Structures are given as structure tokens and as C-alpha cells.
Amino acid sequence: MIYWLPAVLYMAAIFVASSLPDLGPLPGDVSDKSAHSVAYAGLGVLVLYALARGRLEGVTWRRAVLAVAISILYGMSDEWHQSFVPGRTADWADVLADAVGAALGVTLVGAVIALRAWGILRVSARQRRAP
């Protein structure tokens, strides 16, 4: 259960941000869709972490797909939630950006696993012993 804590806290932060009527402009030239993708990349990684019980060795294709699906479902529920917040609207394009971000985040984890398996990315003995 402890492995779910980061994902649940992250989801709570998304919920709080979605409850605000106006977040104001994003810094620089960051688009709303880019912000959604980055946020949900983080969520996808944290959900995969929970499903894999905090171990790269616990990552499977099934868990990766499930992590993306959970993230997308949360994105859909978040958009539905926003439809009740004054000044906010639900946007299916945001859900699409969430899905792309979650898939990219989970794919990044898969890339790290592949790089380790191929010997390109090495982990020191000290890092392997860490709990």
C-alpha cells in the first residue's frame, strides 16, 4: 500500500489544481496541452511504480498498460470534475494530452529498463543494495 502513496498524493495535487477557478497563465511559452502531458507523464510513472511495488524488475507490459489506463481514467475524471468548477471547462483534448503524457512517462521507464538490460545504463552495487 505504501507504494501507492506518491501516486495518490500526486492525484490529490491534480485535483486541487483542477478545483481552482483560474490557474493564471503558464510560465513562458508552455501550452496547456504540454502542461497536461508533462503532469500525466509523472502520474503514469508513479502509478507504474505502485503497480510494480517500487521495483524496475516488477515492471511488465501488463502493468505498463494498466498504469496508462489508470492515468487516462483519472484524467477523464479530472475533466469531469472541472466541468463543475466555475471558470473551468471539460476538454477532451486535455484527456488526449493526458493520455499521450502517461504513455510517454511509462515508455520512458521502459526505455530505462531496456538500457539497463542492454548494459548501456549501469547501476552501481551500492544503488542495487538500496531498499
Residue 21 contacts residue 82 (beta carbons within 8 Å): no
Does the residue 95 lie in any domain? yes
Q: Rounded to whole angstroms, how far apart are CA atoms 75 and 68?
A: 10
Question: How large a percentage of the chain has pLDDT more than 90?
Answer: 68
C-alpha cell at 107: 515508455
Q: Looking at the predicted structure, is the pLDDT value of residue 95 above 90? A: yes
Give the residue numbers spanning the domain of 40. Answer: 2-20+30-129
Predicted pLDDT at 15 = 95
How distant, in Å, are the alpha carbons of 47, 51, 71 from that of 1?
12, 10, 18
**Around Cβ 20, how many Cβ atoms within 10 Å?**
12
- Please name the amino acid found at residue 62: R
Does the residue 124 lie in any domain? yes
Does the residue 25 lie in any domain? no
**Around Cβ 3, how many Cβ atoms within 10 Å?**
16
Q: How confident is the model at residue 128 (pLDDT cuts 50, 70, 90)?
A: low
Q: What is the mean pLDDT of residues 9-27?
A: 87
Q: Rounded to whole angstroms, how far apart are CA atoms 3 and 12?
A: 15
Does the residue 37 lie in any domain? yes
- DSSP string over 24-40: -PPSTT--HHHHHHHHH
Does the residue 44 lie in any domain? yes
pLDDT in tens, 38-79: 999 999 999 999 999 999 889 999 999 999 999 999 999 999
Q: Which residues contact 99 (CB under 8 A, 6 or more apart)?
A: 40, 68, 71, 72, 75
Does the residue 123 lie in any domain? yes
Q: Looking at the predicted structure, is the pLDDT value of residue 127 above 60? A: no
Predicted pLDDT at 60 = 94
Number of domains in the chain: 1
Mean pLDDT, all residues of the chain: 90
Which pTM was predicted?
0.87
